[in-house]
Amino acid sequence: MQVALFYILATLSVAGGLLMVGQKNPLAGAFSLILSLCSLAGLVAMLHAEFVFILQVLVYAGAIMVLIIFTIMLLNLKKEELQEAPVGWMRLLLTATLCALGAFGAIQVFGEVDPGQVELATGFGNIESVGRSMLSDFVYPFEVISLILLVAVVGVVLLAKKVI
């Protein structure tokens, strides 16, 4: 059951990623990416990470993708503006080979990782345990992240304003 679920979700996420990269229309690409992100959320849930699962659906598949789709619709691109400059076969071949080699190398390296079995504590990955870790061991990175988000919000408002 778990094996079948893993393969279904993995296939969906890879298919969504490939569709996103291959499609000419960015709106269709954004919907393919949502498919990919939702199936990744399912995989995260299979790893007992319920807090990250909630965040993945809420923040990634929800908020960030809504932002991207909203921007695509705001730009209201016409057909000729979506037309990409024709690319040579050489470049396609070169990029594809480079990426395939990279993935192959990564798989070779990961094949040697063998951590053995791990016992999970009760409540592993729920909001309480992640929150405790975040606000005790990782409290300084947490504060830095909040500062970065504040700077990003101010920066985005400044950038998107017509007249400063």
Partner 1 sequence: MIGLHHYLYLSAILFFIGAFGVLFRRNLLVILMSIELMLNAVNLSFIAFSRHATGDVDGHVAAFFVMALAAAEAGIGLAILVMLFRNRTTVQADDLTLMRD
Q: Looking at residues 79 to 98 of the shown chain, list those that interact with partner 1 (rule: CB under 8 A).
A: 81-82, 84-85, 87, 91-92, 95-96, 98
Spatial neighbors of 46 by CB under 8 A, at least 6 apart, are 2, 5, 6, 9
Question: Contacts with partner 1: how many residues (CB under 8 A)?
Answer: 83
Instruction: Among 2, 88, 89, 163, indicate the residue that binds partner 1 (CB under 8 A).
Output: 2
Identify each DSSP E strand in the chain by its residue range. Answer: none
Contacting partner 1 within 50-69 (CB under 8 A): 51-52, 55-56, 59-60, 63-64, 67-68
Q: How many other C-beta atoms lie within 10 A of the C-beta of residue 40?
A: 21
Spatial CB neighbours of 57, under 8 Å, sequence gap ≥ 6: 38, 41
- Of residues 95 through 124, those in contact with partner 1 by CB under 8 A are 95-96, 98-100, 102-103, 106-107, 110-111, 113, 115, 118-121, 124
